[in-house]
């Protein structure tokens, strides 16, 4: 049953309807998997046309709260993050096969692309933000290794990983253009450089392209991508700049994954702490 609330006079009618439906969904009055009232009933309850109701429900679809089921109407979308959220602690570990990855995904493996190949190596124009991280012009043609990585037992637990390789690496370590063998690209780079690689990541979010949503088995609307740009570099000493070797563009469904990380205490917060001053919360006297 819908509960009609008194909306602001500044809101349009469809926004008021969308707000009331949204509150019903977020409060649990309309639980995941339940159908929305049919359009005719919503229109009669609010005294509006089908067009107004459709604008309201379209807003909820764009937000990812409801989905259309063919010949069955609109339903409250099931949210995977409510039942199987996987927290990603961002640190690098090494698995039993000799590959570097996060600690929660040690059991993940490369999954086949639609054509059956596990790694697609090609030359393509580099995206703007990846180009910025690599220090090259946007659209420059670089070698990229495209993979789908995931849990073989849970089809929706997967990520896209495109490894954009710096031009100097392609020139100096040509074997990275093909099968990199046991341990993968990072082992080959460390063997060649005789020094350890280092990493840093930049996290952002955006809406997926239709191709990304299909590859990640995501809804086509309403759910953003969680995106990590992992920069791989070789540390240099003195005045020499670090050499960026690769930027990996990792994308995953924000409905399934979150990022978790510890918050260590800094020096000023080291335990035990000194008590705060008693006057900290006192208002300042303007006359003083």
Find all residues with CB under 8 Å of 178, minimum gap 6, and list them: 121
Least reliable range by pLDDT among 14-18, 99-103, 204-208: 99-103
Rounded Cα distance, 156 and 256, in Å? 8
> Computed from CA positions of residues 24, 25, 31, 33, in that sequence, does the dihedral angle turn out positive or negative?
positive
Q: What is the pLDDT of residues 226-280, one digit of tens each?
A: 998 999 999 887 677 789 999 999 999 988 888 777 788 888 888 888 777 666 5
Rounded Cα distance, 183 and 96, in Å? 10
Q: Percent of the chain at pLDDT above 70?
A: 81
Per-residue pLDDT, averaged over 30-57, amounts to 92
Closest by CA to 130, choosing from 167, 172, 163, is 163
Q: Which residue has the tokens 């609330």?
A: 5
Average pLDDT, the chain: 81
Rounded Cα distance, 277 and 124, in Å? 60
Q: What is the pLDDT of residues 192-211, one digit of tens each?
A: 889 999 999 888 888 888 88
Closest by CA to 231, choosing from 163, 178, 287, 176, is 163
Is the link from the previous residue into 232 a cis peptide, with omega within 30 of 0? no
Q: What is the pLDDT of residues 104-117, one digit of tens each?
A: 666 777 788 877 77
Q: How confident is the model at residue 100 (pLDDT cuts 50, 70, 90)?
A: low
Q: What are phi and psi of 205, to 5 degrees?
A: -145, 150
Instruction: Give the per-residue pLDDT at 11.
Output: 65
Q: Is 132 exposed, middle or buried (0-12, 13-18, 19+ CB in 10 A)?
A: middle
Rounded Cα distance, 215 and 199, in Å? 26
- Cα 255 off chain centre by: 9
Within 10 angstroms of residue 242's Cβ, the number of other Cβ atoms is 12
Rounded Cα distance, 161 and 144, in Å? 10
| Predicted confidence (pLDDT) at residue 166 exceeds the cutoff of 90 | yes
Residue 58 · residue 42 · CB < 8 Å: no
């Amino acid at each position: 049953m819908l509960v009609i609330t008194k909306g602001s006079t500044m809101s349009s009618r469809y926004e008021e309807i969308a707000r009331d439906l949204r509150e019903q969904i977020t409060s649990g009055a309309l639980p995941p998997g339940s159908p929305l009232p049919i359009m005719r009933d919503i229109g009669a309850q609010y005294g509006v046309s089908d067009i107004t109701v459709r604008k309201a429900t379209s807003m909820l679809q764009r937000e990812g709260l409801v989905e259309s089921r063919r010949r069955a109407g609109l339903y409250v979308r099931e949210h995977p993050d409510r039942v199987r959220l996987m927290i990603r602690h961002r640190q690098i570990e090494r698995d039993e096969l000799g590959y570097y990855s996060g600690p929660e995904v040690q059991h993940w493996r490369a999954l086949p692309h639609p054509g059956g190949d596990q790694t697609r190596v090609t030359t393509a124009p580099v995206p703007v933000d990846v180009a910025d991280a690599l220090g090259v012009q946007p659209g420059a043609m670089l070698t990229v290794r495209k993979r789908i990585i995931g849990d073989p037992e849970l089809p929706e637990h997967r990520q896209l990983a495109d490894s954009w390789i710096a031009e100097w690496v392609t020139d100096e370590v040509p074997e990275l253009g093909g099968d990199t063998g046991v341990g993968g690209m990072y082992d080959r780079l460390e063997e060649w450089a005789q020094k350890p690689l280092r990493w840093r990541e930049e996290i952002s979010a955006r809406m997926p392209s239709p191709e990304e949503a299909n590859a990640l088995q995501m809804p086509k609307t309403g759910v953003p991508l969680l995106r990590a740009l992992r920069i791989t570099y070789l540390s240099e000493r003195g005045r020499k700049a670090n050499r960026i070797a690769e930027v990996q563009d990792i994308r995953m469904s924000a409905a399934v994954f979150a990022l978790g990380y510890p918050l260590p205490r800094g020096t000023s917060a080291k335990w035990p702490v000194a008590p705060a001053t008693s006057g900290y919360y006192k208002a300042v006297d303007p006359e003083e």
